Structure 1
Amino acid sequence: MSLALSKSADTPARTNWSAYATAYDLLSEHNPAYQALLSEFEGFLKTIEAPALIYDIGGGTGNYTEIAARICPESEIKLVEPDVGMLGVAKAKLSARDNVEYDSSTLEDFDAPGTADLIVCVHALYAMPSQGKRLKDLRRLLRPGGLLYLVDLGRYMNVADWRSYLFAHLKKEHGLLGALRIFWQGREIAKQNKSILEAQKKGVYWTHTEAEIASAVTEAGFDIIKQDSVYRDYSDLLVCRAVP
């Protein structure tokens, strides 16, 4: 699940996503809020007809693609992720999945083989340039009536709040020494999260309210089926249908 998809001259990304990839899954495995997001997505897939074609846009280390490949083994899945570090982790993780292909393009340069039945875009849109245009790109990549599963970080990344939350959970589950060990192994995450916050404050990364992202999605040609505040209220989850 990449948190960035495009790095352009006018909106340079401040975060080293390849460095982020080295510890991303380690800390995510111990983050109850992240695990809740994965469970939510798995539950969603079980409620819909298996899509013939799925695009995971900004698929990062492949956690959402892994769930889709497991729940929908007959689906054709394409993981689109331009960061070489993230993509390398995803390829290693999903090497046994024969229904997954990979593309290292940015969203705006993605040469899609066809319109998808489902697009997954998790914690990636906010770091792209021109979110309105990127949402229209997502609509273009979907067949009429196709579904967009969108999760986006909308509020400032409060690093101290997340540190306290994760450390309390890790200490409860693994004891003080275990918590300290996991924090040390995942120290790159804290470093990159600080750069995310800096980029948010500078306006390089998009921040938004629930109403603002709903308006942007609607303007791009989607009907909103479901919208929730998730990830400890830092992010918004929207399930949308592409308007014919």
Structure 2
Amino acid sequence: MSNFAAFLETIEAPRVIYDIGGGTGNYSQIAARAFRGSEIHLVEPDAGMIGAAKAKLADYANIHYESCPFEEIDATGTADLVVCVHAIYTMPSPKQRIADLRRMLRPGGWLYLVDIGRYIDVSDWRRYLFAALRKEHGLAGALRILWQGREISKQNKAIFEAQKKGVYWTHTEAELAADVIAAGFDIVEQKSVYRGYSDLLICRPRP
């Protein structure tokens, strides 16, 4: 999320922001802190996550909640910034959903896209996370955080199983870049993130 906060420092304040598949509101919260005058729409079909987001973001009056699938959002040409983090790979017709992201943006707008593309090695991810947490919080702190986040570990296992079954979309860096360009974007920046399992793309819509 530090990448996102750093990116926001480089752009003008957006009037309208859409956080697609916003989950419990982590990225909406960063955007709300950076741009208190922006109108932020958190789009999340899961009622439990929407509930958690509303509790977390109760102090921000500029966030609107839309509890429906992304493909049902009618917001053509209204957004100055669209954020979509670890959501497209779970959606039906992901290439069409990328085109929908393009459709939402005004000329000159920004897309901040992160998507899981490769199979998640759950053991590798757990080892990496533990080492990073131990370095920052010590052994006891790392163990406590991992215990508190055990539900995330279960989710990662579920993601891996869905990837193997073809339920979730997988792609290489080059394949995702090609799909984004085909949808009408120019890529400003692209890099591998999250231990190489995901790709980060910062894009602008072509005129």
TM-score when scaled to structure 2?
0.94
1:135 and 2:98 are equivalent in the alignment:
yes
Distance 1:179 1:42 in 2: 24
CA distance in structure 1 between the partners assigned to 2:102 and 2:94 by the alignment: 12
In the other structure, the counterpart of 1:152 is 115
Q: CA deviation at 1:174?
A: 4.1
Matches within 5 A, 1:175-214: 175-214=138-177
Q: Which residue of 1 aligns with 2:34?
A: 71
The code of the aligned residue for 2:147 comes to: W
Conservation of the 8 A alpha-carbon contact between 2:76 and 2:103: no
Structure 2 equivalent of residue 82 of structure 1: 45
2:84 matches 1:106: no
Assess, with a 3 A threshold, how the Cα gap between structure 1 residues 177 and 242 changes in structure 2: closer, same or farther: same
Q: 1:32 maps to what in 2?
A: none
Aligned ranges 1:32-47 → 2 under 5 Å? 38-47=1-10
| CA-to-aligned-CA distance 1:83-139 (integer Å, 9 cap, x gap) | 111111111111000111110011111133861011000111111111111011111
Q: Aligned to 2:75, what secondary structure does the other structure show?
A: coil
Distance 1:109 1:124, change over 3 A: same
Aligned position for 2:16: 53
CA change 1:222–1:113 in 2 (3 A) is: closer
RMSD: 1.5
- Contiguous gaps of at least 5 residues in structure 1: 1-37
Give per-residue Cα distances to partners, 1:126-183, cap 9 Å, x unaligned: 1111111101111111112211110111111110001111222333444444433332
Q: For the Cα contact (< 8 Å) 2:76–2:105, is it kept in 1?
A: no
Residue 226 of structure 1 aligns to a residue whose secondary structure is strand
Between the two proteins, what is the percent identity of the paired residues? 69
TM-score, normalised by the number of residues in structure 1: 0.81
* Aligned equivalent of 1:9: none
Q: How many residues align?
A: 207
